[in-house]
């Protein structure tokens, strides 16, 4: 008998799920206030008891064939190394969960004088999440990626480069790009060079790496595409493989797009062209 020790036995039988049994067994172990908790090692217990013991801050041993209380200390016995070595040991941990061989459970309970305590399956209910309402996380702003749009508008690094007057025009570029995508209801794509540029990230808050089209970006499926200030390098254009009607605006008549990658190349200043287009769109 376990003098000075509280030994409790739970009879957990029938069917149960891991999700419900783990919190219920953990709660039962904690609430019992026992030093030693005995359970019969059926499949339900073996599935959930280890996780429950961890949750309850207990230690656990399974496949135990004998428990004895010697000088106020529990000693358990089990086979190891494929039933070749018979071991006997004790633990300082409290609570200590011992899962016995099912056929030996009653015998061990009787021998140790364990108090049989009813197992309450409803304990899990207390930890169940209750939904008070649903709130949309939002995107932090209007989304510029519109998979259903007819047109893909790609902005390249040229929008951040020094222009004919020797200066950069971030604000004008941002207003022109967003003005067009809003008016034409176009999806916004980008080249890798643009989204990788820290100064562009600060100025073009409406775009991120999610907008990048290409080998290491996305492969959108819009009907038409218009690339602006984008050179048309192969790692970028490979992302256009599902876009059949392709146009581009570039100052460079020898840009990559002109090498058979676009149907129409407008050799022009994209700032001026897109500003005019925005005016025409009203
Ligand atoms: C392994 C690997 C993977 C890669 N994956 C990708 C990828 O997924 N997507 C991607 O985009 N790139 C990718 N790249 C990078 C790619 O090779 C190019 O470096 C990149 O696409 C160039 O971006 P860009 O054309 O915007 O910039 P730039 O090469 O700097 O071209 C800017 C263009 O803007 C034009 N321009 C400047 N001012 C104006 C103006 N006022 N009007 C009109 N045109 C103007 C210039 O003539 C120039 O052609 C990858 C590279 C490697 C090595």
Distances 255 to 17, 61, 200, 228, 269 between C-alpha atoms, Å: 63, 70, 22, 12, 14
Per residue in 226-279, pLDDT (tens digit) is: 999 999 999 999 999 999 999 999 999 999 999 999 999 999 999 999 999 999
Residue 70 has pLDDT above 80, yes or no: yes
- DSSP per-residue letters across 201-268: HHH-TT--GGGBBSTTSB----SEEEEES----HHHHGGGTT--EEEEEES-TTSGGGTTT-SEEEES
Q: How many whole angstroms from 233 Cα to the centroid of ligand 1?
A: 6
Mean pLDDT score, 108-126: 84
| Cβ(2) – ligand 1 distance below 6 Å | no
Give the ligand 1 atom nearest the CA of 234.
Answer: 17
Per residue in 38-64, pLDDT (tens digit) is: 999 999 999 999 999 999 999 999 999
Find out whether 154 and 225 touch, Cβ atoms under 8 Å. Answer: yes
**What local confidence, expressed as pLDDT, does residue 141 receive?**
66
**Same fold for the domain at 7-127 and the one at 151-281?**
yes
What's domain 7-127's superfamily in CATH? HUPs (3.40.50.620)
Q: How many whole angstroms from 65 Cα to the centroid of ligand 1?
A: 71
First-residue to last-residue Cα distance in the chain: 91
Residue to probe by mutation, ligand 1, list 162, 218, 232, 236, most atoms within 8 Å of CB: 236
Domain boundaries, the chain: 7-127, 151-281
| Cβ(233) – ligand 1 distance below 6 Å | yes
Give the ligand 1 atom nearest the CA of 212.
Answer: 9
Give the ligand 1 atom nearest the CA of 273.
Answer: 42
Q: How many whole angstroms from 19 Cα to the centroid of ligand 1?
A: 51
What's domain 151-281's superfamily in CATH? TPP-binding domain (3.40.50.1220)
How many Cα atoms within 13 Å fall on the side-chain side of residue 102?
9
**What local confidence, expressed as pLDDT, does residue 202 receive?**
85
Per residue in 133-178, pLDDT (tens digit) is: 887 665 556 789 999 999 999 999 999 999 999 999 999 999 999 9
Q: How many whole angstroms from 235 Cα to the centroid of ligand 1?
A: 9
Residue to probe by mutation, ligand 1, list 194, 250, 275, most atoms within 8 Å of CB: 250
Please tell me the distance from the alpha carbon of residue 51 to that of residue 87, in angstroms, as a whole number: 24
The answer to pTM > 0.75 is no
């Amino acid at each position: 008998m376990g003098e000075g020790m509280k030994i409790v036995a739970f009879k957990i039988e029938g069917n149960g799920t891991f999700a419900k049994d783990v919190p219920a067994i953990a709660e039962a172990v904690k609430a019992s206030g026992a030093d030693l908790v005995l359970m019969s090692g059926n499949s339900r217990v073996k599935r959930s008891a280890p996780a429950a013991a961890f949750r309850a801050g207990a230690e656990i041993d399974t496949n135990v064939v004998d428990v004895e209380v010697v000088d106020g200390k529990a000693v358990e016995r089990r086979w190891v190394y494929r039933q070749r070595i018979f071991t006997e040991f004790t633990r300082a941990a409290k609570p200590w969960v011992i899962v016995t061989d099912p056929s030996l459970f009653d015998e061990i309970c009787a021998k140790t004088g364990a108090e049989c305590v009813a197992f309450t399956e409803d304990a899990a209910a207390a930890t169940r999440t209750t939904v008070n309402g649903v709130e949309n996380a939002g995107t932090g702003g209007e989304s510029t990626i519109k998979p259903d749009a007819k047109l893909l508008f790609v902005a390249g690094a040229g929008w951040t480069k020094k222009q004919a007057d020797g200066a950069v025009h971030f604000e004008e570029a941002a207003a022109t790009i967003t003005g067009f995508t809003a008016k034409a209801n176009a999806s916004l794509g980008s080249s890798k060079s643009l989204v990788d540029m820290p100064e562009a990230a600060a100025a073009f808050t409406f775009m991120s790496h999610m907008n990048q089209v290409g080998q290491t970006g996305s492969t959108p499926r819009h009907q038409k595409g218009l690339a602006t200030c984008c050179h048309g390098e192969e790692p970028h254009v490979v992302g256009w493989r599902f876009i059949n009607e392709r146009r581009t605006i570039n100052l460079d008549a020898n840009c990559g797009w002109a090498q058979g990658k676009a149907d129409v190349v407008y050799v022009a200043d994209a700032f001026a062209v897109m500003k005019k287009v925005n005016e025409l769109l009203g």
